[in-house]
């Protein structure tokens, strides 16, 4: 078992004919992902990386048996693409693009719940399961198979943690980019639940950042429903109040969303607080994680 991506995952790429979509399709295929086709309205009948391109998601599902989709669709068109994808029966959607309007994300989130779709993003590097596949833009060379799960609001920091662990021969069961916007499609506790239930994961690392309440929500779940060891690193220790730091979700307002409030909540839940990414090695040693 592995979370989200396994041997039965059949991926389509929406926006496959664009520069980013075609390039990332090539890298996903090279990593071993079962990509079975792509969708770009008006480009049906073409091929990209020898994969068929379809005009609609419904057609792609009928012809390929796809059950997962990764979006490289321009932000203004993501909402309609999301509706179409959910209606076609796809149950896993990774929304990579940024700059999607918040009201669109709220509509997508509600529709995902209605259709029982698990969706990641927006503004996410995606998900990677070492040795099995990836959906999104994560650089596969930094990851190695193992038993530590990583959930991150920051793409580059997830790469940093995976790289540090891999250098010490500590592999990852899955690395999940949950999305960096102020409103996201799946909350952190719901991703923690997947790792808690995964028999190939022994421990979980949360890579958070200032802004929002995701880490505080996670702390409540960790205290009441998590049996596996959890460590957390919160980026943005010196972020000035009221200033957006890179991500739409990374903004501190008063005492809410600060590094201090997040660390206090997580520490009280039993999670280990890391002051620097490199401290993750000591945590794995202390918890006998290999």
Q: What is the DSSP string of 232-275?
A: EEEE-TTPPTT---SSTT---BTTBT-HHHHHHHHHHHTPEEES
Rounded to an integer, the average pLDDT of 90-110 is: 97
pLDDT at 31 over 70: yes
Q: Which of 99, 103, 247, 290 is catalytic?
A: 247
Sequence spans of domains, the chain: 11-120, 139-286
Range in 22-26, 86-90, 234-238 the model is least confident about? 234-238
Whether 247 sits among the annotated catalytic residues: the reply is yes
The pLDDT of residue 238 is: 61
Q: What integer is the mean pLDDT of 140-161?
A: 94
CA torsion 58→63→67→70, rounded to 10°? Answer: -70
At residue 169, the pLDDT reads 96
Return the CA Rg of the chain: 18
C-alpha pair distances (Å), 89 with each of 19, 44, 60, 82, 106: 27, 20, 11, 11, 20
pLDDT at 212: 87
Q: Is 154 helix (H, G, I), strand (E, B) or coil?
A: coil
Q: Which class does domain 11-120 fall in?
A: alpha beta
Q: Do 11-120 and 139-286 agree at the fold level?
A: yes
Hey, how many other C-beta atoms are within 10 angstroms of the C-beta on 142? Answer: 20
Cα 202 from Cα 146, distance rounded (Å): 9
pLDDT digits (tens, 9 = 90+) for 160-173: 999 999 999 999 99
Please provide the average confidence, as pLDDT, over all residues in the chain.
93
Q: What is the pLDDT of residues 179-192, one digit of tens each?
A: 989 899 999 999 99
Whether the per-residue pLDDT at 255 is higher than 60: the answer is: no
Q: What is the pLDDT of residue 276?
A: 95
Phi, psi of 150, deg, nearest 5: -125, 130
Q: What confidence score (pLDDT) does residue 280 get? A: 97
Whether residue 122 has a cis bond before it, omega within 30° of 0: yes
The whole-number pLDDT of residue 257 equals: 74
Phi, psi of 36 (to 5 degrees): -110, -5
> Across residues 227-254, what is the average pLDDT?
69
Phi, psi for residue 209 in degrees, rounded to 5: -155, 170
CATH superfamily, with its number, for domain 139-286:
Succinyl-CoA synthetase domains (3.40.50.261)
Residue 154's pLDDT band (boundaries 50, 70, 90)?
Answer: confident
Using CA atoms, how far residue 75 sits from 50, 71, 141, 202, 271, in Å, is 26, 10, 28, 37, 36
What pLDDT does 243 receive? 53
Q: Is the pLDDT of residue 240 over 70?
A: no
Tens digits of per-residue pLDDT, 256-271?
578 999 999 999 999 9
Nearest-angstrom CA–CA distance, 19 and 26 = 11
Q: Which pLDDT score, from 0 to 100, does residue 110 have?
A: 98
Average pLDDT over residues 148-154: 95
Q: Render pLDDT for 109-140 as a digit per residue (tens, 0 to 9).
A: 999 999 999 999 999 999 999 999 999 999 99
Q: What is the pLDDT of residue 260?
A: 92
Buried-state track 93-113, b at ≥16 Cβ within 10 A, e below 16: bbbbbeebeeebbeebbebbe
């Amino acid at each position: 078992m592995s979370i989200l991506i396994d041997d039965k995952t059949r991926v389509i790429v929406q926006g496959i004919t664009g520069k980013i979509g075609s390039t990332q399709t090539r890298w996903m295929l090279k990593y071993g992902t079962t990509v079975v086709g792509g969708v770009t309205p008006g480009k049906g009948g073409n091929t990209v990386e020898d994969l068929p391109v379809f005009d609609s998601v419904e057609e792609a599902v009928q012809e390929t048996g796809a059950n997962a989709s990764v979006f490289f669709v321009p932000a203004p068109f993501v909402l309609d693409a999301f509706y179409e994808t959910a209606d076609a029966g796809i149950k896993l959607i990774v929304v990579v693009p940024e700059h999607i309007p918040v009201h669109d994300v709220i509509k997508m989130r509600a529709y995902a719940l209605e259709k029982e779709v698990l969706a990641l993003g927006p503004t996410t590097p995606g998900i990677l399961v070492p040795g099995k596949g990836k959906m999104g833009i994560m650089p596969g060379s930094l990851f190695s198979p193992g038993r530590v799960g990583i959930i991150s609001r920051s793409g580059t920091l997830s790469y940093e943690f995976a790289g540090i662990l891999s250098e010490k021969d500590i592999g990852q069961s899955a690395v999940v980019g949950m999305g960096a916007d102020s409103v996201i499609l799946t909350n952190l506790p719901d991703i923690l639940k997947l790792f808690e239930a995964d028999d190939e994961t022994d421990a979980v690392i949360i890579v958070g950042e200032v802004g929002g309440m995701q880490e505080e929500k996670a702390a409540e779940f960790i205290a009441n429903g998590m049996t596996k060891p959890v460590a957390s690193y919160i980026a943005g220790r010196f972020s000035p109040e009221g200033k957006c730091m890179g991500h739409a979700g990374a903004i501190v307002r008063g005492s809410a969303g600060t590094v201090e409030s997040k660390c206090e909540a997580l520490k009280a839940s039993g999670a280990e607080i890391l002051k620097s990414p490199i401290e993750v090695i000591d945590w794995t040693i202390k918890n006998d994680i290999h």
